[in-house]
Amino acid sequence: MTDVPQQPSATAPKPAAPAKPVARSLDEIKRDPLVARACERAGDAIISAKEFAGEISLTVDRERIVEVAKAFRDDGFNYLVDLAGVDYSSYPNWTGDRFGVSYMLYSFSKNNRVRLKVTTDENTPIPSVTSVWKTANWHERETFDMFGIIFEGHPNLERILMWDGFNGHPLRKDFPIRGIDTGARIYPEVFPEGGGPKAGSTGKDVKDVNIYKGDWPHYGTWPVAEIAARAAEGGMPPAPELAGVVADTAKPTEEAPWHDPEKALPERMELARAGNLKDKLFAAMAQTDCTACGWDCEGYAAALASGETTDITLCVPGEDETESMLKQLMAGKA
Amino acid sequence: MPEPLMRYLIWPLVKFLVAFLIVQVIVAAMNYIERRLLGLMQARLGPNRVGNEVFEKITPRSLHRFIPGGLLQIIADPIKFILKEDIVPSSSEKVAYFLGPMLPLIPAFLVFCLIPYGPPPTFVVTHVNVGLLLILALTSTGVYGIILGGWASNNKYSLMGGLRSAAQMVSYEVPFGLSIVGVLMLCGSFDLVRIINYQADHIWNLFPQLIAAFIFLVAMNAENNRTPFDLPEAESELVAGYHTEYSAMKFAFFMLAEYSSMIVNCCLMVSLFFGGWTLAINGYGLTTGVLRGWGLAGGILGAVIFISKVMLFMLMYIWFRATFPRFRFDQLMDLGWKWMIPLALANIAVTAVVVLLGLQFNFQGEVVLSIAGAAIIAFTLFLLLRPRAKVIHARRVSEA
Amino acid sequence: MFDVHEMEVNFGPQHPSTHGVLRVILKIDGERIVDAKPIIGYLHRGTEKLFENMSYPMCIPHTDRMDYVASATNNLGFVETVEKLMGITKQIPKRAQLMRVMLSELQRLSSHLLWLATHAIDIGAMTPFFYCFREREQILDLFEEYCGARLTLNCMRIGGMPEDLPPGWLDDVEAFVDKFDAAIDEYESLLTNNRIWKKRTVGIGVISPEEAIDWGITGPPLRGSGVEWDLRRAQPYECYPELQFEIPIGKNGDTYDRYLVRMEEMRQSNWILKQCIPLVKATPAGDIKAKISRVVRPPEGEVYHSIESPKGELGYYIIADGKTQNAYRCHVRPPSFVNLQALPAMAKGHLVSDLVALIGTIDIVLGEVDR
């Protein structure tokens, strides 16, 4: 721990040596003077090793990372430079666990770096190395925030860059690059007008799309594939910024099978035929939950049915079709 | 009109209004001067545009380069303050929030009746024989407005600013008052006119009361919340301190009160330690008698001398502001209680002993004190001006 | 739970001295800080996500936006990492290397000047702010002369530099560096021996060398604690081995030592610049690019490479899958992010006034903290 480095010699190794043509085996790398002493103590936890551009990467058994980290720290690697998560889910020909975490270590006395790696999947926690290096605290929080990798034994594992209650982990490969609708417009009681979440608004329950419940496919994906397919057909991709995401929140449920923007109006009305006035009004809406009217589709229908509003012209995406249907339905009520 | 009415009401009122107006013009001008002067000291321009066109139209071309730019900023600023929206935080304590900026204004303006601007009787608004006490009493009430405003804003930063201000003003009121005691001992009066006349007949109190003058200078900076003691409004810590939530005219009132009390303190400084409107030593030079002998012209000359001296001290405030970093709060308290007050008490003791010995053995106490003061000044100048090694750099740190 | 004397204060994100959008939740007892909890992320733009979705050359302008007061060093770190990944580090021509060193040292000066300006004004000294900006303007003018931009330079390319130096640029740099030492003296005459300045900085935020390493602190804060470690010397890149400079270190690890270290670093950077000018003049004009393919497609592999940015160790961790022109994963190790982590440990027990001094002395840029 108390290894205050001396002035490194001027003949320090150039960091960027080109990749060696002949790859060394695991045992050879373990005997490398750089890592030999640490490997003596915890060498059996090291599963595999790789060398690239003069850097040694050691893949470590996930459960024993703390032990290995301690061995390396005691051997002079008292500075944890960086801790980075990787999502390998779209890596070409990848067969291992989905996530990897890399620990970049530096030794002041040896003036060199070593990389430790562990792999994990969505649900298996990695033991936290905060007990070994204090600096791991924020790094692990960031990795949790960005990938959803859980670190067991972390004193305060909460989001750091995204806000509390953000749904999803942005650096996962299936997170849409254009972002997701965070619900800012749909839930004004949580997200005040003017956008942005209220600090500490995590107490909100149920429907809030913004609360992360560990339910991964909840937010859906940005329809990159869909755009590509339409472009291939010659058509333009859908214009509205969040169309795909909004449609995703408007999935049909058992109570409201008509709540699906893909269905045409007559089909929706047919589905809602057995229901009460509110259901029929609901089915007449455009089903995009666009909130242009000030409610989601169900809310607008309920407002019309209860007489809270009498303005039937508010549904913008439904256009004339919806308006005339609403007119008929409201006239029926009268 | 009956004579007493004229003497006790109308004339003082007229004099007060004239003095008040002049002071307010000085306040407005100070704002402009401060900004231009800070600009000069800080390698930038300061306000240099407003009104240039007007002056270029009404003056001959040859004079243009002598007119400082941006003169009408003096008028533009108040107009801006008046026209801006007056925002009242919804959760503030409305009455107290309203009173906050008003309270410091009352004593700040009232004090202007008590200050002699020139030789009496014409340039003294009201001649109170305990004027100094009254001024001290009035100026120390200014803090209530700041505390009230800070509390009523319902903002934690404002509250902290108000609390800092309260503690600071209470702490520095003590050395502020104590530093004057030595002057009172020498002059034997609370009457500012008599103090000034005494200085003209002997020597500026600066010399016999050098320590007191220094303490007074520090304490008046602290009293006015000016750098390096501007903690109540430290913008980098408390956003804007007690006036964070104030806008428009209410904010301007705080500014007005601050600058007014700055002027009051400078007037006190000049009256107590720098001979007021006189320029005389040991009875020779422009004493009150000489000035009164010249009639109104002499009076105006005295007032000009007085205001010039005051302006010099106002410029010193600006100079301080450009130079010093800010104290921390506990350091400020340390300085006040552990250094200023003991020093002031020691000064009182020494002055008292010397004055008493002088009475006993029949020599002039202030001469002895003046010699000591002059010696201190000479020694300080020597310390400041002697050739010194260059500043220490980090390489030395690494060598150590 | 709260003690009855404690008050919770929201310090930022809209606060004059949090240097951007840092938010610190303070628990204070009177003015004494009981607990400080930094909240970050207000400036998060998903830079790492963007890196994964664009080719390597397209990433370079995005690196500018991380530490936006020191964009040349961000560029340098990124292009060097990609070059290391491609194994072309040794092919960079001498002239390009020198130009990179000059730009990053100028950038170090401008970053430190901004730091000094804001640090001083946080502590209440108003004038150094304007003096520092006077010189910083001149540096930005030099940048503008070279690449047209003043702040986000985008001034380096993988394999070399985008264009050669404009005629007369070296003379302008020379004129600047000749005057700059005197300018540093001017700042120091206002601050270094000032009693109030010392009172506000000596003994504030002391951090021991062991603790500093444990927190992963790098750059001037680490050297202020007495650890003589500078990546330019420890793991030299570009042509730093040929240049002479000293690594200033502090003794006590307090705010004052960190101040002295940065002031001396400015002198050292100026010295490096002075050495560079004749060296650049000796290299053939126009030799600024390695002969590499225009399409940057590194082999499969992963590298971590870091440089000494003005704020500390700026590292890039790039994983390439060998198939595409995009990085499969590009992680940035921002010095501000890591250094900021030690703020609660440094601030505990100090006063609110010291917190602004500490935020200043860590020298954070929120664009880099949040990425």
The domains found in chain A, sorted by start residue, are 26-152 (3.30.460.80), 176-221 (no CATH), 240-330 (no CATH)
pLDDT at B345: 92
Distance from CA of A273 to the nearest CA of C (A): 47
If contacts are CB pairs under 8 Å, which of residues 81-100 in chain C contact chain A? 83-85, 87, 89-90
Phi, psi of A244 (to 5 degrees): -60, -40
Closest CA to C185 of C276, C248, C264, C118: C264
- Provide the β-strand partners of residue A115: A57, A104
Q: Do chains C and B touch (3 or more CB pairs under 8 A)?
A: yes
CB C191 within 8 A of CB B323: no
Within 13 A of C270's CA, how many CA atoms are on the CB side?
23
Nearest CB to C124 within list B160, B234, B398:
B234
Which residues in chain A touch residue C52, judged by CB atoms under 8 angstroms apart? 171
Question: Which secondary structure element, helix H or strand E, spans residue A117, and what is its range?
Answer: strand A112-120
pLDDT at C360: 87
Dist CA B308 CA B325 (whole Å): 28
Dist CA A215 CA A219 (whole Å): 9
Distance from CA of B394 to the nearest CA of C (A): 5
pLDDT at B124: 77
Q: Do chains B and A touch (3 or more CB pairs under 8 A)?
A: no
Where does the pLDDT of residue C25 fall: very low under 50, low under 70, confident under 90, or very high at 90 and above? confident
Dist CA C76 CA C220 (whole Å): 19
pLDDT of C302 over the 80 cut: yes
pLDDT at A180: 65
Helices B248-273 & B94-110 angle (0-180, nearest 10): 30
- The answer to whether C351 contacts B330, with C-beta atoms less than 8 Å apart, is yes
pLDDT at A290: 65
Of all residues in chain C, the one with the smallest CA distance to A112 is C235
Closest CA to A26 of A55, A54, A57, A53: A57
pLDDT at B283: 78
The per-residue pLDDT for range B228-278, each reduced to its tens digit, is: 888 777 777 777 778 888 888 888 888 888 888 888 889 889 988 888 888
Average pLDDT value for residue range B63-75: 80
Q: For the purposes of burial, counting CB atoms within 10 Å of the CB of A194, is it exposed (0-12), middle (13-18) or buried (19 or more)?
A: exposed
Long-range contacts of A244-247 (CB under 8 A, 24+ apart): A244/A220, A245/A176, A245/A180, A245/A181, A245/A219, A245/A220, A246/A181, A246/A288, A246/A289, A246/A290, A247/A288
Sign of CA dihedral C8, B96, B232, B28: positive
pLDDT of C38 over the 50 cut: yes
pLDDT at C316: 92
pLDDT at A20: 47
User: Of the ranges A100-109, B124-133, C132-141, which one carries the lowest mean pLDDT score?
Assistant: B124-133
Dist CA A193 CA B62 (whole Å): 59
Average pLDDT value for residue range C289-297: 78
- The answer to whether C301 contacts A138, with C-beta atoms less than 8 Å apart, is no
Dist CA C238 CA C246 (whole Å): 17
CB C55 within 8 A of CB C323: no
% pLDDT > 90, chain B: 2
Dist CA B363 CA B355 (whole Å): 9
- The answer to whether B236 contacts C16, with C-beta atoms less than 8 Å apart, is yes
The per-residue pLDDT for range C255-271, each reduced to its tens digit, is: 888 898 898 889 889 98
Average pLDDT value for residue range B15-37: 82
pLDDT of C213 over the 70 cut: yes
CB A183 within 8 A of CB C65: no
Dist CA B203 CA B280 (whole Å): 8
pLDDT at B389: 62
- For chain A, the first-to-last Cα distance in angstroms comes to 82
The per-residue pLDDT for range B317-346, each reduced to its tens digit, is: 888 888 888 888 888 888 888 988 999 999
If contacts are CB pairs under 8 Å, which of residues 268-297 in chain A contact chain C? none
Which residues in chain C touch residue A154, judged by CB atoms under 8 angstroms apart? none
Residue listed under structure tokens 């800010």? B326
Distance from CA of B287 to the nearest CA of C (A): 41
Average pLDDT value for residue range B285-296: 80
Within 13 A of A101's CA, how many CA atoms are on the CB side?
31
- The answer to whether C131 contacts B43, with C-beta atoms less than 8 Å apart, is yes
% pLDDT > 90, chain C: 15
Dist CA A201 CA A165 (whole Å): 7
pLDDT at C106: 92
If contacts are CB pairs under 8 Å, which of residues 226-245 in chain C contact chain B? 228
The per-residue pLDDT for range C59-111, each reduced to its tens digit, is: 888 898 888 888 999 999 999 998 888 888 888 888 899 999 999 999 999 99
Domains of chain C: 42-368 (1.10.645.10)
If contacts are CB pairs under 8 Å, which of residues 52-71 in chain A contact chain C? 52-53, 55, 57
CB A40 within 8 A of CB A74: no
- Interface mutation vs chain C, best among A2, A81, A114, A117, most C CBs within 10 Å: A81
Dist CA A21 CA A297 (whole Å): 63
Average pLDDT value for residue range B135-154: 85
- Interface mutation vs chain C, best among B37, B163, B236, B245, most C CBs within 10 Å: B236
Which residues in chain C touch residue A161, judged by CB atoms under 8 angstroms apart? 40-41, 44, 370-371
Where does the pLDDT of residue B101 fall: very low under 50, low under 70, confident under 90, or very high at 90 and above? confident
**C253-280 core/surface letters (b: 16 or more CB in 10 A; e: else):** bbbbbbbbbbbbbbbbbbbbbebbbebb
Average pLDDT value for residue range B94-100: 85
- The answer to whether C196 contacts B327, with C-beta atoms less than 8 Å apart, is yes
* C193 contact B CB<8A: yes
User: Of the ranges A90-104, B375-389, C72-86, C187-201, which one carries the lowest mean pLDDT score?
Assistant: B375-389
Nearest CB to A161 within list C44, C85, C241:
C44
User: Of the ranges B33-42, B54-63, C214-223, which one carries the lowest mean pLDDT score?
Assistant: B54-63
CB A181 within 8 A of CB A167: no
Average pLDDT value for residue range B81-97: 84
User: Of the ranges A261-275, A290-304, B204-218, B383-397, which one carries the lowest mean pLDDT score?
Assistant: B383-397
- Does C162 sit behind a cis peptide bond, omega within 30 degrees of 0 on the bond before it? no
Helices C169-191 & C94-122 angle (0-180, nearest 10): 30
- The answer to whether C333 contacts A8, with C-beta atoms less than 8 Å apart, is no
Q: How many CB atoms lie within 10 A of CB B91?
A: 10
Q: With a cut of 70, list the residues of chain A below it in pLDDT.
A: 1-23, 165, 167, 178-254, 289-292, 294, 333-334
Where does the pLDDT of residue B397 fall: very low under 50, low under 70, confident under 90, or very high at 90 and above? very low
